[in-house]
Amino acid sequence: MHTQVSILIVEDEGIVALELQESLEQEGFKVVAIADNGREALEILKGEDVDLILLDIHIKGDWDGIETATQLSVFKKIPFIYVTAYSDNSTFERAKATMPSAYLIKPFRIHDLRKAIELAMYHFSQQQPSVVDVREKVATKKEPTEQEGILHFNNAIFIKQNYKYTKVSFEDIQYLKADGNYTYIQSTEKRYVIKNSLQNVIDIFNTERFVRIHRSYAINVNYLTAFNENMVHLGDEEIPIGRNYKDVFFQLFKQL
């Protein structure tokens, strides 16, 4: 499990690409690959876990950066940022039509790029559809939506800690535990805590793999190893089933 935001760089100037990679890694990001043309970038995206793409506009090959962004978006919806030395109006208007997360003119400071990446992830996360969980049948009142400090897309959440985002894949999260206005996120390697209610976190995750079985717990059903009328087991972990959640839990289990 890696906990860094994964970035694909599409840049045809080797020295510039390597300098950008070094700067990003110093900022705590993970550069999964560097491509110098659009078709190579598409092949990388098909085989790698990528959270965000940095695109130069003038690159090698028959696709420029703008056409590359269009082709990549057909394969996978993902935030991308243009980084370019060209600021003429015609190029900008073409780029704008592809709905980039940001448009940075070279040269730029790494501080500006880091902020652009953070904003790109935030805005892209807010565009993801929310879901009204069927488990709210047992709730008497929908809790207010507060999403500060947590982003979600690409089958992962991104928790802001020490001025950077830590990536936690859904598949690595075993269960969630409520503690007042906070929620503990227990992964296979570490426990995280965020200021957000349990139901809001479940809604933010927007995936059926997390099932609320108690007013204080939701589990990742992929880690479920055994259960009875009153308890579920996630390996060595025992978590109680709340009385008001039993019917919903067993109904969901039958649907799996």
pLDDT over 90 (residue 44): yes
Torsion of CA 247, 248, 253, 256, to 10 degrees: 150
pLDDT over 70 (residue 138): no
Band of pLDDT at residue 2, cut at 50, 70 and 90: low
Return the pLDDT at 254.
67
Determine contact, residues 27/3, Cβ cutoff 8 Å: no
Least confident of 91-100, 131-140, 222-231, 240-249: 131-140
pLDDT over 70 (residue 9): yes
Non-local (6+) Cβ contacts of 172 within 8 A are 1, 187, 188, 189
Return the pLDDT at 37.
97
* Distance (Å, whole) CA 160 – CA 166: 6
Q: Provide the mean pLDDT of the chain.
A: 85
Q: Give me the percent of the chain exceeding a pLDDT of 90.
A: 51
Tell me the three state secondary structure of residue 201.
helix
Non-local (6+) Cβ contacts of 84 within 8 A are 56, 57, 58, 65, 91, 95, 103, 104, 105, 106
Look up residue 1 and give its two tokens: 């499990």
Q: What would the pLDDT profile of 73-87 be if each residue is shown by its tens digit?
A: 999 989 999 999 877
**Nearest C-alpha neighbor of 80 from the set 158, 7, 159, 157:** 7
For 5-126, strand residue ranges (E) read 6-10, 30-35, 52-55, 80-84, 102-105
Give the burial class of 71: count Cβ atoms within 10 A of its Cβ; 0-12 exposed, 13-18 middle, 19 or more buried: middle
**Nearest C-alpha neighbor of 156 from the set 221, 224, 206, 100:** 206
- Domains of the chain plus CATH, in order, are 6-126 (3.40.50.2300), 134-255 (2.40.50.1020)
Return the pLDDT at 97.
92
Band of pLDDT at residue 132, cut at 50, 70 and 90: very low
Q: What would the pLDDT profile of 171-222 be if each residue is shown by its tens digit?
A: 999 999 999 888 999 999 889 888 888 988 888 787 888 989 999 999 999 9
